Amino acid sequence: MNFQRGKRSEDLEMNLVPLIDVLLVIIIFLVVSATFSRTSELQINLPTAEANSPQEKPLTIEVGVDASGQYVINGKSLSDKSVAGISAALQAAANGGNEPTIIINADANSTHQSVVNVMEASRIAGYTHITFATQAKSGS
């Protein structure tokens, strides 16, 4: 009920300009602070272990396995994820070298099958020296 004659109440309106300003500032902050990872590199979290410092080997082949099952041999990404494809890539990386050491850099969250595939490919290629890369435990 309107007891006041002749006076109309003003229509209420919501001013959206401050809301838009705040949202734009938040979006700009997120864009500036976001980190962009390179698509050519694998994101690998190495498992931790206490070990001695690594010894220098004359011929080593580094095989990276990330959590999604991608393989990288000496910095080159593999498109063929089969055991035969990995074996062929290992032989190509060895360049006919005598008994290289295969260093497997597997992500802590990678599947067991991915690591077994690398080990099987090494066996097929005739390479028996296989080791795993780890990172030292922090705080010990």
* Cα 42 versus chain centre, distance: 4
Question: How many CA atoms lie within 13 Å of 59's alpha carbon, on the beta-carbon side?
Answer: 12
Q: pLDDT digit string (tens) for 8-30?
A: 667 778 888 999 999 999 998 88
Instruction: Summarize the chain as % helix, strand, coil (round to 5).
Output: 30, 15, 55
Instruction: Determine the pLDDT at residue 88.
Output: 92
pLDDT in tens, 49-108: 776 765 654 688 999 999 888 999 998 999 888 999 999 999 999 887 778 899 999 988
- Give the pLDDT of residue 2: 57
The whole model's pTM is what?
Answer: 0.58
Distances (CA, A) of 61 to 3, 78, 131, 133, 138: 90, 14, 10, 12, 27
Tokens for 44, please give them: 């690998």
